[in-house]
Structure 1
Amino acid sequence: MRHLLVTALVYVLTLTISALLLADEQGSPSAAVENSLGMKFVLVPTGEFLMGSDESQDVLSQDYPQYERRRVQELGDEAPVHRVRITQPFYLGQFEVTVGQFRKFLEASGYIPESVADGTGGYGYNANYDPTKSDSGDAFEGRDPKYSWHNPGFVQGDNHPVLNVTWNDAIALTKWLSEKEGIKYRLPTEAEWEYACRAGTRTRYASGNNPESLKKIANIFDADAKEYWPRWAQFALSGHDNFAFTSPVGSFAPNSWGLYDMHGNAWEWVSDWYANDYYAKSPIDDPQGPADGIVRVRRGGSWHTWSLYARSSYRNWISPNSRYSLVGMRLVREVPER
């Protein structure tokens, strides 16, 4: 354990030096570039970090006592902790893709999102829906054609994160932007996402180890949201963030690299296929995830996510054509070759 701690400190120091050098060359780490849809991107430096979590079930059960033991037993895919090296800098969306930006894409491209194209819709909040009386037991009503990217069942402004988008919708956006601007856009890899979320930290959250620290940086399940879902009240943070549903992007403090909402607000699609044993065989340099699979990874948690599942290391997965009232996206804009 002592050896691992020393190694982690060395990596964090290396990461910090790399970030400072890159900032010196190309401006402040929080300086953003803006694209044709009004998306802002922050330069993420090269560097190394320790990916994943090796916290024991006993420790997690002690620190998250409101959760059933089986929930911490299901976190084995976060191990083993492994060294990852990001060898190329990249621009990452400073914010999650917004409703307004997605609308501009649809209007300019003519693309029809899957929730509309296949006629089955998405998921949404309905005050009269009772999960205990539904076949799925899901927290939200759906699929239903009345729900889609522009209607998750609650009011959103153009500056809120777009939801009910599939992995395929996200890929369509990246392809269109790449062709329009002549610069490659894509989804981040799972490794790039965790690297950027941590921003040099090794704690559970970019804000520290205490779940209550999330109130400074994240819109997740808290006292405001629990009023709508009292059956899960024990999982809510104790305080109020003044948002029962999504918040405008950037409503909370950024991490040290100038990235907002890396925890909470909307789950974010990443490019990787999912495999629960991938970490054991992951390459050190720029891991891309398994070569194939059935489900894709999403990261970061949402406005409805409990704190255990908003940790930097937590992995979630879902079918590429899934659309849900908690899931959005954040894009990578690659650095042009000199």
Structure 2
Amino acid sequence: MSNWYLSALCVLSICSGPVAWAEEFITPPMVSIPAGEFMMGTIGGDPASQPIHEVSVEAFQLAKYPVTVAEFRYFAKDTNFSPDATCNDFIDKEGLRGPTHIGTGRWDKHRYSHSDYQPVTCIFLTTAKAYAKWLSQKTGTSYRLPSEQEWEYAARAGTTSRFFWGDDPTGAQACEYGNVADFTGESVNNQLYGLSNVGFVGLSPCEDGEAYNAIVGQYKANPFGLHDMTGNVLQMVNSCYSDKGYQPDTSAFQEKNQCEFYGLRGSNWHYPARPHTFRGRAKREGWNVSADIGFRLAADKAPATSDDSHFTAALKQAQQQRLSEKDNLLMTPLFGHIVQLGETRYQLRWQPVTDKRVTRYDIYQSVYPQAHLMGGFYQHQYTKLTQVDSSQSSLELDAVANGTSFLLVAANDEQSSLPSAPLLIPHPPVITDIPGKLEMQNVASLNGVALYRAAPTETRPERYYVFKTNPVTAQEKVSMTFLVKVEESGEYQLSYQGRTFQEGTFFTLWNGATLLAEISYERQAENTTNQHSVYLEKGQHSLQLQVMREGFDRWMLAGLEFTLQQPIATGDE
């Protein structure tokens, strides 16, 4: 990782002084949004974004960018706005903290600050509305926050795909249009916190050049000419939120007792690109302000007079300065494979990268047999074995055990690339006897979820488990396959160690195309449910668990145990 980003994570007083112009305010550049109709919401996915329904929108004005720190400074100075430094700007190896966390940031100085041209964050909805009212008084134009309907209509900009640039099933195009969780953020988080989005919230497979809050307008605009409608920071809207879906009066901002949550739209740098139907929320009371939530202004009519030339010129200069500071990440080695030379002798081979900055390749070897299935920061599961000069594209290894895997990392003295895909020397599959327990480290295959390891303690042995944070916009099917040998045909009691935010059906159990059981979760069962009966036939089988979540969820599964309750006699027994 280039040192520019690490050195840029400094406070405004060091990196970028306040903007000093003669004006008493900054008139925001606005975009004229034409009247029209569109289908709002989605058919599947998050229940909060349903049902899909037709919405008519009157012509209005929407700011080209989210409100920046530079613009907000005038308001803060004029109104003596000086809140305590408690904004939630905390991140560590576990990711962002929850909405009640008390951090150390303010709107003008927080962990992600490096420019006055980043979106202003760390403020409540009431402050954003106070800013709009203040600017209205200064300019004579009635500024406000957009409604949720206006925001989605403007974000879509006449398109009907998941994103205004297309459906983009892999998310690889997202970095052209916004600051999202990507390779840049993954690299910076790896170095600063040992944090990885792999197996956690995921990342878009591209490089956008920013890990946290970015200067506005750095990415391509949508067809209406609006920037940062995807990524960077979430944006407050003047509409209520309900997790039960769109309500009859979501456009009106109701009283507190009728509107516990207000809406957030767009996405931010912490998550992969989210479709325009995504609805976030923030609590009107009881939650702290956050350094990843901002806002943009709307107006019913275009300003009678507007001069944003100073702001536009200064913003362009800030964008160019930021661009000049950036280096692309080192290229990740691709197309690696393993060739067996003898019983325990192997050769790693890979395609040399074309990045001239690379001076060596670091070779990492797995610490645990199932490291190739694990999520989290790769150096928690792999240790550096050796390094070779960049002129080499192979390495011979002796006395390598089955189940060992390797990662390739391109590097120089200043930075390292992200790791390659694991190169695995497979081991024979583990067949579990039933009656018995299915241990997660013995899984034959994993799809859509990552494996984790809990180190042994004085009171608990080493434990493996699968864990997933399920975003509201996904309905990804997770599957786990185990190979088993059933000793006797009969009814088995299935118990499991696991938990989920959602009660009801947790996972289904299959033997090939045959559904064996639908397993539920109840909180009062204290993370272990023993009330499921499953019929298993004698012999070797491939059992598959499938998990399908709707809406936000965070779940964990640490093991299943089968106990024979009633054997079934057969002719050969």
Q: TM-score, normalised by structure 2?
A: 0.44
Higher RCO by CA contacts (8 Å cutoff, separation 6 or greater): 1
What amino acid maps onto 1:315 in structure 2?
R
For 1:79, the equivalent position in structure 2 comes to: 50
| Structure with the bigger percentage of helix | 1
CA distance in 2, matches of 1:83, 1:242: 37
Per-residue deviation, 1:142: 4.1
Is residue 293 of structure 1 aligned with residue 263 of structure 2?
Answer: no
SS of residue in 2 equivalent to 1:279:
coil
Closer/same/farther in 2, CA of residues 108 and 314 from structure 1, 3 Å limit: same
**Residue of structure 1 equivalent to 2:186:** 226
Q: Which has the larger radius of gyration?
A: 2
Structure-2 change in CA distance of 1:139 and 1:222 (3 Å): farther
Match of 1:138 in 2: 97
Letter in 2 for 1:317: R
Q: 2 CA distance for matches of 1:156 and 1:267?
A: 18
- 8 Å contact from structure 1 (residues 220, 264) kept in 2: yes
Tell me the percent identity: 26
Cα deviations across residues 89-145 of structure 1 (Å, max 9, x unaligned)? 211010011111111221123234xxx1xx46111145xx4538xxxx82799413x
Equivalent residue, structure 1, for 2:383: none
Q: What secondary structure is seen at the aligned counterpart in 1 of 2:102? A: strand
Q: Give, in angstroms, the shift of residue 288 of structure 1.
A: 3.0
CA distance, structure 2, for counterparts of residue 110 and residue 52 of structure 1: 40
Distance of 2:100 and 2:259 partners within structure 1:
28
- What SS class does the counterpart of residue 100 from structure 1 fall into? helix
Query: Among residues 230, 246, 258, which one is paired with 1:263 in the alignment?
Result: 230
Q: Distance in 2 between matches of 1:93 and 1:151?
A: 24
1:118-137 maps to which residues of 2 (within 5 A)?
A: 119=84, 121-125=86-90, 129-131=92-94
Amino acid at match of 2:297: L
Q: Take 1:337 and 1:92, find their aligned partners in 2: how far apart are those partners?
A: 11
Structure 1 residue 337 displacement after superposition:
11
Superposed displacement of residue 203, structure 1: 1.1
Report if the CA contact (8 A) 1:152-1:163 is conserved.
Answer: no
CA drift of 1:156 comes to: 2.1
Which residue number corresponds to residue 150 of structure 1?
Answer: 108
Indicate if the aligned counterparts of 2:141 and 2:303 stay in contact, CA closer than 8 A.
no
2:80 aligns with one of 95, 110, 113: 110
Out of 286, 293, 310, which is 1:327 matched to? Answer: 293
In structure 2, relative to structure 1, the CA distance for the partners of 1:209 and 1:181 (3 Å cut) is same
The question of whether the paired residues in 1 share the 8 Å contact of 2:51 and 2:245 is answered with no
Contact kept in structure 1, 2:173 and 2:206, CA below 8 Å: no
- What code does the residue aligned with 1:261 have? D
Q: Larger strand proportion, structure 1 or 2?
A: 2
> Aligned runs of 1:234-273 on 2, under 5 Å?
234=199, 235-273=202-240
Please state how far the C-alpha of 1:224 moved relative to its aligned partner.
Answer: 0.8
Q: Partners in 2 of 1:201 and 1:179 — Cα distance?
A: 35
Matches within 5 A, 1:207-226: 207-210=165-168, 211-226=171-186
Distance in 2 between residues matched to 1:110 and 1:333, nearest whole Å: 25
- Whole-angstrom distance in 1 between the partners of 2:144 and 2:213: 24
Q: 1-side partners of 2:131 and 2:40: how far apart?
A: 28
**1:205 and 2:170 equivalent?**
no
Unmatched tracts of structure 2, length 5 or more:
1-23, 305-573
Q: Show structure 1 runs of 5+ residues with no match.
A: 1-34, 56-71
Alpha carbons 1:125, 1:152 under 8 Å: kept: no
Which structure 2 residues correspond to residues 28-107 of structure 1 after superposition, within 5 A?
36-55=25-44, 72=45, 75-87=46-58, 89-107=59-77
Aligned mates of 1:290, 1:49 — CA distance in 2? 24
Q: Secondary structure of 1:246's match?
A: coil
2:136 aligns with 178
- Residue 165 of structure 1 corresponds to 123
250-259 vs 297-306, greater mean Cα deviation: 297-306
1 CA distance for matches of 2:167 and 2:198? Answer: 21
Root-mean-square deviation (CA), in Å?
2.5
1:109 is matched by which residue type in structure 2? T
One-letter amino acid of the counterpart of residue 54, structure 1: I
